[in-house]
Structure 1
Amino acid sequence: MSITPFRLDIPQADLDDLDDRLARTRLPRSMPPGDGCSRGVPADLVAELADHWRTKYDWRGHEAELNEFPQYTTEIDGQDVHFLQVRSPEPDALPLILTHGWPNSIVEFIRLIGPLTDPRAHGRDPGRAFHVVAPSVPGFGFSAPPRETGWTPSRVARTWVELMRRLGYDRYGAQGGDLGAYVAPEVAKAAPEHVAGVYVISGLGFPTEADVPEMSEEEQAAYARMMQQDWANGVDHHALLRAAPQTFAYGWHDSPVAALAWMLQKFHEFNAGGRPLEEAIDRDLFLTNLTLYWLTGTFGTSSWPYYDSAASAWPEGQTPVPTGVYSGPPGIRRLAERGNTIVHWPEDNPAGHHFIAMDRPDDLAADIGRFFAKVR
């Protein structure tokens, strides 16, 4: 099948429409003083960021930044797939396919691709370079929405395997976080003879209630701390998106401020690094991801992988090839090893946002290099 070059060129009318909608925003009443985020994202925060989005954020500049990466589309399994393909200047670089999370997109990797493809330019070992392929999951960004149900992580992974074959890569690594932590292991299951290793951000070995009776006191204390975190107690998006994603999509699709508030809610809940969100993730990077969702109309279609799932569960991983993680904790290694061949389990990598590629791209790139140096 053909591979077609792709370039972002959003019609100005779409940007003018976004500006007009933001200018006509109707904000709800503010919450009582002192409530913080306990009832949801505060109105003053939404108003301030919506004004920045309308008056200071420059989509055209960030569109040009995205267009610096070679982009393509191709049809696989009846699905139009959009992807970045960025080759390293190092001839012996290992191909690596990156899978983004939800509610994220290829924007997740804007700051990561350079350190991965050209470590020499970033003061690191050129022997740990990668040729990067970063597809948009079907229903996200510029990949077309699936025409049918059943686009589970395993089906997405089989699509990635075909994409890598089509690009001429016989041996490669697979990386993912969030939704990508479910997809990347499935890539290895689908083509173990081609995958050198699987690297996930975190999530392996997370205990469930069934594991608690067999856990040590120290492990139980760590589990209790984990369950007190914002990301474990916020809006249960798994349940929401399994229940009625179409209903919520009307608001996300029609009101940019509804979309902004929803994205702020999840990015705040996912902020586990101990720093304010605006310090962890540059606000214009956050807005580029949000704007991409808005301009492609994919708030609803990006929920479909969750709608197709039966229940919420932690990633299980895979056994055919070696596995590494950016952060072992709060997972427990002995639990992770029930379903993975763990060869890389650091406990001291710098903490950061759930979307660590947006927060600490250099630290993440260095650790990805350390893992694949062990398995390539």
Structure 2
Amino acid sequence: MTAVAVIRLFAQSLRSVLLGAALLISSPASAERIKDLASIQGVRDNQLIGYGLVVGLDGSGDQIRQAPFTQQSLTNMLSQLGVTIPQGSNMQLRNVAAVMVTARLPAFSRPGQGLDVVVSSMGNAKSLRGGTLLMTPMKGANGQVYAMAQGNLLVGGAGAEAGGSSVQVNQLNGGIIPSGAIVERGVPTTYIQDGFITLELNSSDFGTAQNVVSALNQHLGSQTATAIDARVIQVRAPLNPDAQAEFLSRIENLQVSLPPARARVVINARTGSVVMNRTVTIDEAAIAYGNLSVIISRQPEVVQPDTPFGGGQTVITDRTDIELRSDTGALQRVSTSANLADVVSALNALGATPQDLLSILQNLKSAGALRADLEII
């Protein structure tokens, strides 16, 4: 191969490398759909709640003496079915339990649609396994009935008890009924007002709001979307009702580039866990830390009289030893870390325990070396 051919091959290789680097540099940031970033104002779920009775339990229901509301509810239910219970009757039933029933009514729900319900014991029942929920009205915040729940419970736990010993896996006082409620009344859903659709971002951010507006105006025409603030975006909708669903579908599937998230470190002081996002950086600093521990030990000690026949008694006393230990902490240098990988390496190089790391991060923030918001939960 001649020198000219070698130079030409090297130039082609260099051109390929530079082109690849240019593509990497010009590649867009991470993008997400508007569906994952925002919700449509007016399109929301509604909470439903009801109080009912679960029957058919195998002796694991409420104890009537400790849960009198169970007996009262059972008496009222039987009276509605034409069964009269004499006053003062003390029903000792162990196969009935009072429960609270909850569900979520999705937007655009129609009568006849099934809903999943969650059933939770509110008395002292040991288990709801094998029980059946009786017809329970499900009410909304306005007190009106929107669904009726009834069916057999599905409990994921299991337990056994014999001879004073017991074993239990998962929770036995709660369960679900798939499609256990039937919608009786729908909630009107209005998502277009005065010809506009309002998008609400899941988190307030001016950069994200501006990127969403730019994407909408680029694909749907200029002046289509306007950012009201860092969370609310107003979009002009078509006047034809037949085109509104297709318009919303196009909006939800648009890709939006996200700006870098705000640097944040979340510390859970109870568990000692630390979580930080990829925009956290650390400036150069010096850190010294050490542990101080107090050790108290108690040992029995036999004390005998000085003379064998002096009339004294042999007694046993406790000897207490208190020891104070202090681990010396050397001053260590932490270099500037420009990305998350460098931050993790710098913190791991300290060799600190999770509890020490909590204090170190707080002190770095106070010293101005931690470039992130510190949130303690």
Query: Where on the TM-score scale, by shorter chain, does this alignment land: which range?
Result: under 0.3
Bigger relative contact order (CA 8 A; separation at least 6): 1
Higher percent of residues as strand: 2
Q: TM-score, normalised by structure 1?
A: 0.21
Higher percent of residues as helix: 1
